[in-house]
Amino acid sequence: MTSEGWGTPPVEPISQHYIVCGGNALAHRLILELVEHYEVPVVVLVADRTRDHAPQIEQLEGVAAVVEYASITDEALRAVSIGTARGLALVEGSDQENIHAALSAQNHNPDIRIVFRMFNQRLGENIERLLKNGAALSGSATAAPAFAAAALGRPNSVEIEGRYLHIAFDEAITSDRVCVVADQIDRRDLSKIRLLPAQQGDSAEFVRLAREFGDDGPIRPGGVRREAAPVVSAEAVEPVEPADPESPEAPVAPVASADPETTETPADPEVAETGQEPEEEPTGTAALQVLRIEPRVPIGWRRRLRWRVLDTMRFFTSARMRLVLLTALAAVLMSFGVLWYLNRNFGWTVYISLLDLAGAAQPDQLSDIASGSGTGGIWQRVAQVVITICGITFAPVATAIAVEVLGSGRRGQPRNPGAGTRDHVIVVGLGNVGTRVATQLHDLGVPVVCMERDPQARGVAAVRALGIPVVMGDGPFEEQLRRARLKHSRALVAVSGDDATNLEAALEARHGNPEVRVVVRLFDDDFAGHFYKTLDNAASRSVSYLAAPAFAAALMGREVRGTLSVLRHVLLIAELAVEAGSGLIGLNRHDLEDEGGVRVIAVRFAPGSQLQWGLPDRTRRLVPGDRIVVAATRSGLARLNTVTGVS
C-alpha cells in the first residue's frame, strides 16, 4: 500500500479500482469489506489523513493509495483516477456535497458505479434517476432497525414482500424456520460462532428418529446406547466413533441440531474417571424465521391517554404552578358541593359557580339579608367567596399560558418528559442514527424520551415535530437521566458518535435503574466483547458494521434488502435479478449455495409471480426473468459475485 501527499495522484497508474471517499467509521468498515471479502483494489480519498479513522485506513493491507484533499473537487477526482475506476462510494459529507460529487463523477466516467450516502432517502431516490448507474443508501436507516429491536428485546427483522425475516435463538426456534443460520454459539467467545452451517437434507429428521429409536432401543447420536452411558472406569469405556469422520479430534462435541432439545453428547471418558460431569461449553443455535406480521408493542389506550394528559400538563405548567392550580381546583370542587347540597339544583349550582369563577357574582346587601331575601345562608356565601377567590387564581394562569404559547412560540421548543411517562425508551444522542431510532420507536407506538447536549443537532427539530420530549443540556448524565425518568423506563439506547460517551451513559443508566435494558453503539469489537461480559440484559451494535456490507454489496451491483444481527455477526438478506448475460443463468440451488456462505431462501420464477419460500427443487436452473432472495454472510455474498461474474 502507498499513501500520497496533498493533491497528488497515486504513484503508479491504476485502473479497474474502487474509490472510497471518507475517513469515518463507515468508510473504514467499507474498505475492509472491499479488500478482505471482494479482494478489489481500493483508493481512498480523505479530507485529513491525521483525523478520524484515516491513520488506521492507511495501515490496511490491500489499499492501493490514500489521497488527501479538503473537498471532493474535479481535481481530487482526477487525482484518484476517476476515469478508469469501476466504482465510487461517497460515505462522508452532507447530502448536498455527496449529490454534487456523484454528478461530477458521472461526468468524468459515465459508466462508473456510484453509491452515495444520503440521510434524506426521498431525495436520494430522485437523485438515483439522474444517475446512469447509482444507488443512494442511508447508513442510519440500515442500522436503526437493529437498535430499535434490541431496545425492545426482540430480534431485528427485514421485510420481504409482506413477510418479516428475523433471527431466533434456541428455544424460540419453531418448526417453520427457513434455515439454520448459526450453531455452536458460545456467548463468552463470539468468534466461535459458525454462520450458515451445513444444511440438513429432507431426510435428516427421519435419520435422527431412526437413530433415536432403533431396533435395539434408544441410542445416542454417535452410536452409543443410552443404557451404556453410566460406566464405572475409564478402562470400561469403549472408544466412540465421531459423528463426523472429518473431525476425529472432537468425538464428544455437541452435535449441532436445529432442535436444541434433542441434542445429546456421547459418553465422555472424563465422566467415568472423575465421576462428575465436566463443565459444558455454552452452545446454542440460531435460525432464520418468517413472521406473517411485524409484532407491535402492546400499549393500552388508558396508559397512552394518561401519558398524554399528564405530559400535556407538564408541558404547560411547572411543578409549583400545578400545586397551586390543583389546590384551587380542590377548593372549587368542595365549594361546588356545598352549593349543590344547599340548593339541590345542579343546573343552578353550575351556573352560579361559573359566574363566581369569572368574578361576576352579585354580593348580598344588608337590606336583602335583613328582609330575608339573601342567597341562602352563611355557608353558601362562604362557598361563593372561595370560588370567586380561586377564580382570581385561574384567570391570570390561563391568560399567561395562552400568551406564552401563542405569543412567545413556546410550542416550538423541545419539552421535557411529563410525570406520566412510563415504559419508555430513552434515546441518547440525536444524530442521524438516534433520530432514526427515535422515529421508528415512535411509529411502533412506544413512548420515547430523547437526550441531546447540542441544541443545534439536526434531530432536535425532527423529534420536536413528532411531539417527542427532549432533555436538553450538557450536565452530568445522572441529572439528565433523572429528568428523563430513568426509573420508569424500559430501555436506554446510547447512539452518540463516541464509544466512551455511550458506555458512560449505559453504566450510569444501569446504576440508576438495575433493571433497565441498555443498547450501546460501539465501534471497537474488543470494547463490545468486554461490554457483553460485564453487563446482563444488554446489547451492542455498530452502525458501520451493520451498514458497510450493504454499501459494499450495492457497490458491486447487488440489492441488499436488509441486515440481520447474529449477536456481533451480520447476515445479509439480498435479492438478485437474473438478467440477460448474467452469470446466474443456468445455475441451480446446488451451484449457488455453499456452507458458511449462502442460502437461497426464496425464488420468483417469473416477473409478477409470487415468491416461493423454501423451494424444495434444488435442481431447477435459473433463466432470465427469475429473481432469488438469499441469506448470506459478507464473504458469501462476495463469493457469489465472483461465481456469477460480478466484480
> 158 versus 261: which is more confidently predicted?
158
Our separate counts of H helices and E strands in the chain read 21, 24
C-alpha cell of residue 288:
432464520
| Nearest-angstrom CA–CA distance, 194 and 485 | 41
| Nearest-angstrom CA–CA distance, 30 and 132 | 23
Q: What is the mean pLDDT of residues 506-511?
A: 92
Q: What is the pLDDT of residue 106?
A: 95
| Nearest-angstrom CA–CA distance, 499 and 115 | 27
Query: pTM score, two decimals?
Result: 0.62
Q: What is the pLDDT of residue 616?
A: 75
Q: What is the pLDDT of residue 417?
A: 74
| Nearest-angstrom CA–CA distance, 538 and 229 | 39
Q: What percent of the chain has pLDDT over 90?
A: 25
Q: What is the pLDDT of residue 416?
A: 66
Task: Cite the beta strand spans of 350-467 per DSSP E.
Answer: 425-428, 448-452
Which segment of 202-216, 413-427, 627-641 scores lowest on mean pLDDT? 202-216
pLDDT in tens, 286-330: 999 877 555 555 566 776 676 666 656 666 666 677 777 778 888
Is the pLDDT score of 622 beyond 60? Answer: yes
Contact in structure between 252 and 223 (CB atoms under 8 Å): no
| Nearest-angstrom CA–CA distance, 166 and 183 | 16
**Among the listed residues 191, 203, 211, the one whose alpha carbon sits nearest the alpha carbon of residue 255:** 211
Which residue is listed with cell 437526550? Answer: 451
Is the pLDDT score of 101 beyond 80? Answer: yes
Strand order in the sheet with 538-541: 470-472, 448-452, 425-428, 491-494, 517-521, 538-541
| Nearest-angstrom CA–CA distance, 553 and 572 | 9
Fill in the amino acid letter for 225.
Answer: R
- Backbone φ and ψ of 273, nearest 5°: -80, -35
Collapsed DSSP state (helix, strand, coil) of residue 436: helix
Q: What is the pLDDT of residue 433?
A: 92
pLDDT category of residue 366 using cuts at 50, 70 and 90: very low
Q: Given the DSSP bridges, would you call strands 163-169 and 157-160 parallel, antiparallel or unpaired? A: antiparallel
> 229 versus 583: which is more confidently predicted?
583
Which residue is listed with cell 416550538? Answer: 412
pLDDT category of residue 475 using cuts at 50, 70 and 90: confident
Give me the CATH topology for the region 18-137.
Rossmann fold (3.40.50)
Exposed, middle or buried: residue 73 (CB in 10 Å: 0-12, 13-18, 19+)? middle
Is the pLDDT score of 7 beyond 70? Answer: no
| Nearest-angstrom CA–CA distance, 233 and 274 | 9
Q: What is the pLDDT of residue 191?
A: 75
Contact in structure between 602 and 611 (CB atoms under 8 Å): yes
User: How is 210-241 classified by DSSP, letter by letter?
Assistant: HHHEETTEEB-TTS-BGGG---S-STTPPPPP
Q: What is the pLDDT of residue 415?
A: 59
213 bridge partner residues: 218
Is the pLDDT score of 200 beyond 80? Answer: no
Q: Give the ranges where 221-317 is alpha helix by DSSP (H).
A: 269-274, 301-316
Q: Which residues contact 360 (CB under 8 A, 6 or more apart)?
A: none
Which segment of 145-154, 274-283, 403-412, 533-542 scores lowest on mean pLDDT? 274-283
| Nearest-angstrom CA–CA distance, 331 and 524 | 60
| Nearest-angstrom CA–CA distance, 155 and 172 | 11
Query: For the chain, what are the domain ranges?
Result: 18-137, 301-412, 425-541, 559-643
The listed CATH number (3.90.1150.10, 3.40.50.720, 2.60.15.10, 3.40.50.2300) that belongs to domain 425-541: 3.40.50.720
Q: What is the mean pLDDT of residues 540-556?
A: 87
Q: What is the pLDDT of residue 229?
A: 38
pLDDT category of residue 402 using cuts at 50, 70 and 90: low
Is the pLDDT score of 86 beyond 70? Answer: yes
pLDDT in tens, 105-149: 999 999 999 999 998 888 998 999 889 899 999 988 888 988 988
**Alpha carbon distances (Å) from 440 to 180, 296, 371, 617:** 28, 11, 72, 38
**Alpha carbon distances (Å) from 503 to 145, 296, 428, 441, 540:** 20, 29, 11, 21, 10
Domain spanning 559-643 has what CATH number? 3.30.70.1450
Q: Give the ranges where 109-203 is alpha helix by DSSP (H).
A: 121-130, 139-151
Contact in structure between 579 and 624 (CB atoms under 8 Å): yes
Q: What is the pLDDT of residue 213?
A: 59
Q: What is the pLDDT of residue 263?
A: 33
Q: Given the DSSP bridges, would you call strands 194-195 and 213-214 parallel, antiparallel or unpaired? A: unpaired
> 262 versus 59: which is more confidently predicted?
59
Which segment of 255-269, 397-411, 514-528 scores lowest on mean pLDDT? 255-269
Q: What is the pLDDT of residue 11?
A: 46
pLDDT category of residue 81 using cuts at 50, 70 and 90: very high
The per-residue pLDDT of the chain, averaged, comes to 77
Q: Given the DSSP bridges, would you call strands 179-183 and 194-195 parallel, antiparallel or unpaired? A: antiparallel
Domains 425-541 and 559-643 in one fold = no
Contact in structure between 111 and 134 (CB atoms under 8 Å): no
Q: What does DSSP assign to residue 260?
A: G
Task: Cite the beta strand spans of 69-202 per DSSP E.
Answer: 87-90, 113-117, 134-137, 157-160, 163-169, 179-183, 194-195
pLDDT in tens, 233-280: 333 333 333 333 333 333 333 333 333 333 333 334 333 333 344 444
pLDDT in tens, 31-49: 998 998 888 899 999 999 9
Strand order in the sheet with 134-137: 63-68, 42-46, 18-21, 87-90, 113-117, 134-137
Fill in the amino acid letter for 193.
Answer: I
| Strongest mean pLDDT among 197-211, 347-361, 544-558 | 544-558
Q: What is the pLDDT of residue 271?
A: 36
Q: What is the pLDDT of residue 100?
A: 95
C-alpha cell of residue 608:
409478477
| Nearest-angstrom CA–CA distance, 508 and 511 | 5
Q: What is the pLDDT of residue 219?
A: 47
Contact in structure between 404 and 375 (CB atoms under 8 Å): no
